[in-house]
Amino acid sequence: MTFRISHIAIAAAAGFSAVALLSAGVEPARAEFPDKNLTLIVPYGAGGGTDIGARLLAKDLDPLIKQPVIVQNITGGGGWTGWGTLAAAKPDGYTLGLLNAPSFYMGYLDPKLGRKERLESFTPLINHVIDYVVVTVPPGSPYKSLKELVEAAKAKPGSISITAHGVGGDEHLAIMALERMTGAKFKVVHNKATPESKAQVLGNHVQVLACNLSEIVTEVKDNQLRVLGVMSPTKSRFLPESPTFKEQGYDLEASVSRGIAGPAGLPKDVEAKLVEWLDKVVTSKEHQDKADSLFLELRSIKGDAYRKFLKDNEQTVKDLMGW
């Protein structure tokens, strides 16, 4: 009896492995990618900036690939629960995720936090949104230009308060870069979210508001805030009258950027296809119009260029934070 069973087992096992081998052999000729739905991991909660942008993208990607793109918010750990899940996902192109720079560097660059993932744990596909840091003050502020602000901060170091959103965040990095370039020193007040910072500046508790451009376009148009400088290479379409840092002699750029990535080791053909589709969406007119209503600037940076963009950003963070 035992004899027979083991025979059957061996036969079955052999059959199984034959099928497995066969199917593995058949793999390259598999059905066109994608033949099932895609999952887009958003490492932050529903309703936030990252989520809104991701859902916009998913909606427009959907008809192009003729498969549903499902947005999945995996929150926690300052975004790293989602990124960790993405890095550990099967590299088949069916699981993608949003990558937020510079927020995501801290988790592995800061030795205190000790994540094992690296930028190399992901396959960067394309950059989607870029939102520049902007420095603003209330209309009644004594500082009429960036130069006046910097000079005042140099004259009395640490006397001027400015908002940011956590150590290693884009505003914090931008302020540090400005301090390093000019020798000025600011008093950085960290808040969890921009509305808190806005309220502190509008209520004259904190003097200067540093945040992202998309977050203050409405207030600037309503004359509740005055822009001292935008940290973009050229003038923003949304605030064409506001000067950039560069125009005022401070050659600095700072932004938060969000792009799409997969886990490391995506098959080359799948990667190429995804980049092509995503680029089509990001550069399309309808998509741009929708992003405009949110004051979001789209910037398609594809494949290797995106990888380099992220790597350069990583180096900047390393230098500024001393990690």
Partner 1 sequence: MLWVNRIVGVALIVFCAALWQISDDYPEMARLFPRVMFVIIVFFSVLMVGRTFLPAAAAGGSGEGGANPAVMVRPILAFVATSLALAASSYIGFFLAMAVLAAVLVPILGIRSLRWYAFATVVLLVAVYAIFVVVLNVPLTLRPPVL
Partner 2 sequence: MDTLLAVVADAFTPFHLSMMLAGVVIGLIIGAMPGLSSNLGIALMLPMTFGMDPISALILLTSLYTSAIYGGSFSAILLHTPGTSASAATAIDGFALTRKGEFNKAIRISTFASVVGGLSSAIALLAIAPPLSLLSLKFGPAEYFWLAVFGISVIGTLASGNMIKGLVSGAVGVAISTVGLDLDSGYPRFTFGFYDLQGGIGFVPAVIGLFSLSQALLMCEKPHNTIQEVDPTSGGKWRLLPTWAELKFTQATIWRSSIIGIIIGILPGAGGDIGSWTAYNEAKRFSKNDPDFGKGSIRGIAASESANNATTGGAIIPLLTLGIPGSPSAAILLGALVLHGMQPGRTLFTEHAHFTYTVCVGFLIANLVMGFVGMAMCRYMGVVARLPNTILIIAVTVLSIVGSYSLGNNIYDVYTMMAFGIIGYLMRKTGFSAAPMVLGMILGPLAEQGFRQAVQLADGPVLLHMVANPISWVLVSLIVLSVGSAAWLELSRSKLTDVMAEK
The DSSP element (H or E) to which 40 belongs, if any, is: strand 38-42
Alpha carbons 213 and 228: distance in angstroms, whole number: 12
Q: Shortest distance, CB of residue 24 to partner 2, whole angstroms?
A: 31
Q: Shortest distance, CB of residue 289 to partner 1, whole angstroms?
A: 27
How many chain residues interact with partner 1 (CB under 8 A)? 3
- Contact status, residue 135 vs residue 160, Cβ threshold 8 Å: no
Q: Is 113 in the site for partner 1 (CB under 8 A)?
A: no
The three-state secondary structure class of 281 is helix
Is 55 or 299 the residue whose CB approaches partner 2 more closely?
55
| From partner 2, partner 1, none, interface partner of 70 (C-beta below 5 to 8 A by class) | partner 1
| From partner 2, partner 1, none, interface partner of 259 (C-beta below 5 to 8 A by class) | none
Query: Which residues partner with 261 through β-bridges?
Result: 97, 124
Is 81 or 248 the residue whose CB approaches partner 1 more closely?
81
Q: Shortest distance, CB of residue 72 to partner 1, whole angstroms?
A: 7
Q: Shortest distance, CB of residue 168 to partner 2, whole angstroms?
A: 6
Alpha carbons 192 and 75: distance in angstroms, whole number: 16
Is 281 or 296 the residue whose CB approaches partner 2 more closely?
296
| From partner 1, partner 2, none, interface partner of 168 (C-beta below 5 to 8 A by class) | partner 2
Is 202 or 270 the residue whose CB approaches partner 2 more closely?
202
- Contact status, residue 287 vs residue 281, Cβ threshold 8 Å: yes
Dihedral, CA atoms, 82, 87, 90, 96, nearest 10 degrees?
A: 60
Alpha carbons 44 and 80: distance in angstroms, whole number: 9
Q: Shortest distance, CB of residue 121 to partner 1, whole angstroms?
A: 21
Is 72 or 316 the residue whose CB approaches partner 1 more closely?
72
* Ranges within 34-93 binding partner 1 (CB under 8 A): 70-72
Q: Shortest distance, CB of residue 58 to partner 1, whole angstroms?
A: 11
Is 166 or 303 the residue whose CB approaches partner 2 more closely?
166
- Contact status, residue 107 vs residue 121, Cβ threshold 8 Å: no
- Contact status, residue 16 vs residue 8, Cβ threshold 8 Å: no
Binding site for partner 2 (CB under 8 A): 45-48, 51-52, 72-81, 84, 106-107, 110, 112-113, 115, 159, 161, 166-168, 187, 189-193, 195-196, 198-200, 202-203, 205-206, 218
Tell me the one-letter amino acid at 59.
K
Is 66 or 192 the residue whose CB approaches partner 2 more closely?
192
Query: Cis bond leading into 267, ω under 30°?
Result: no
Q: Cβ contacts of residue 82 below 8 Å, gap of 6+?
A: 41, 42, 43, 44, 73, 74, 75, 76, 97, 98
End-to-end CA separation in angstroms for the chain:
66
| From partner 1, partner 2, none, interface partner of 233 (C-beta below 5 to 8 A by class) | none
Q: Shortest distance, CB of residue 74 to partner 2, whole angstroms?
A: 5
From the centroid of its chain, how far is CA 43? 10
**Residues of the shown chain interacting with partner 1 in the complex, contacts defined by CB under 8 A:** 70-72
